[in-house]
Amino acid sequence: MNKNFHFPIYDGLIPKVMLFSFISLLLFSLSKVFFTVIIFILLDFIKNFLELKTPFKYIPIKIMDIGIITVSYLFGLSFGLILIAFFYINKIIFSRLDDQAINSLPSLIITCLLTFILNQFHFLIVTISLFIMRYIINFLTDLFFLRYLKISNIPARILNIIFAYFIFNFIYFMV
């Protein structure tokens, strides 16, 4: 057996992981806000990449919705709006900007604003309530502006709410 055999896919992986870990720790030590925003942007980028390049065409975790609500609650309105901008940048990068994504802009902005306004209340109550409210606003804007209501989205959105509940609980206990 050849002792020098290695898998080419791992070439350079360890230095990249070490560099990413070092940069992440540096960002975290410099600014918790910047680190949190970057993490949500990267997770959404990875999610979009996986949905595009793998058989999993839908991953039932709305990372940017969770990120927008969390960052707006913890760090302020401006950082939530930055995440909204990157949500649309990721949609453009992956050619996934459709009428549904554009129509969700009002619900994202309203949710971001209300999260910032209600940040003196309990984290879990505000975040989960506004996550659900975001879907209600989105349904209403679909009905009024696009003149249709996709009932087929309801099971996926219920699954999103369940996953968001667990993620918000995890974030709550980590913060």
- Using one digit for the tens of pLDDT, what is the confidence trace for 48-77? 888 888 887 788 889 999 999 999 999 999
Confidence of residue 10 (pLDDT cuts 50, 70, 90): very low
Q: What is the largest CA-CA distance in the chain?
A: 68
CB 38 within 8 A of CB 27: yes
Q: Rank 8-22, 86-100, 109-123 by mean pLDDT and report only the highest.
A: 109-123
Give the burial string for 92-127 (b: 16+ CB within 10 Å, else e). eebeeeeeeeeebeebbbbbbebbbebbeeebeebb
> What is the residue extent of each domain of the chain?
32-174
Stated pTM of the model? 0.81
What's the mean pLDDT in 153-159? 89
